[in-house]
Amino acid sequence: MTTELARQHAALQSLVLAEDDPDDVYLFRKALDCLDNTIRLEHFADGDTTMDYLRRTLQDDPQQLPRLVLLDLNMPGNSGKEILRQIKSTEGLKRLPVIVFTTSSNHGDVEDCYAMGANSYIVKPRSFGQMVHTLDKFKHYWFDTVQLYPSERLY
Partner 1 sequence: MGASYTLPNGTDQSRFLEALLEHTLSAVYLFNVPLRTNTYINRRYTEVTGYTLEDLQNLDPASGGIMSLIHPDDMGEVLERFGKDPAHDTAPIKPERALRIRHKDGHWVWHYTRYTVYSRDSEGKPLEVLGTFVDITSLKSHEAQLQTLAAQNAATFEQAAVGMAHVGLDGQFTKVNSRLLSILGCTRAELLEKRLDDITLEEYQVENRTQVQALLDGEAPDFSSEQPLLNAQGTPVWANLSVTLARQGDTPLHYIVVLEEITARKKIEQALEESNAALERFAYSASHDLQEPLRKICAFASALERRLSDQLEDHDAKFELSRISDAARRMTDMINGLLHLSRYTKTVLEKRPLQCSALLQLVKENLEFTIESSNASIHLNNDFVIYGDSVGMQLVLTNLIHNSIQYARPEVPPEITIRTEQGDHKQIITVSDNGRGTAAENCDRIFEAFTRFADKTITGTGMGLAICRQVVKAHNGSIRAHSALNEGMEITIELPLEEQTS
Per CB under 8 A, residues contacting partner 1 are 23, 27, 30, 34, 103, 124, 126-132
* CB closer to partner 1 out of 67 and 124: 124
Cβ of residue 133: shortest distance to partner 1, in angstroms?
Answer: 11
List the one residue out of 21, 34, 36 whose CA is nearest residue 80. 21
List the one residue out of 89, 96, 95, 92 whose CA is nearest residue 18. 96
Distances (CA, A) of 9 to 64, 66, 98, 153, 154: 9, 10, 19, 11, 15
Cβ of residue 106: shortest distance to partner 1, in angstroms?
Answer: 10
* CB closer to partner 1 out of 27 and 116: 27
* CB closer to partner 1 out of 124 and 139: 124
* CB closer to partner 1 out of 34 and 41: 34
Cβ of residue 48: shortest distance to partner 1, in angstroms?
Answer: 22
How far apart are the C-alpha atoms of 82 and 52, rounded to whole Å?
13
Cβ of residue 140: shortest distance to partner 1, in angstroms?
Answer: 20
Main-chain phi, psi angles of 47, to 5 degrees: -65, -40
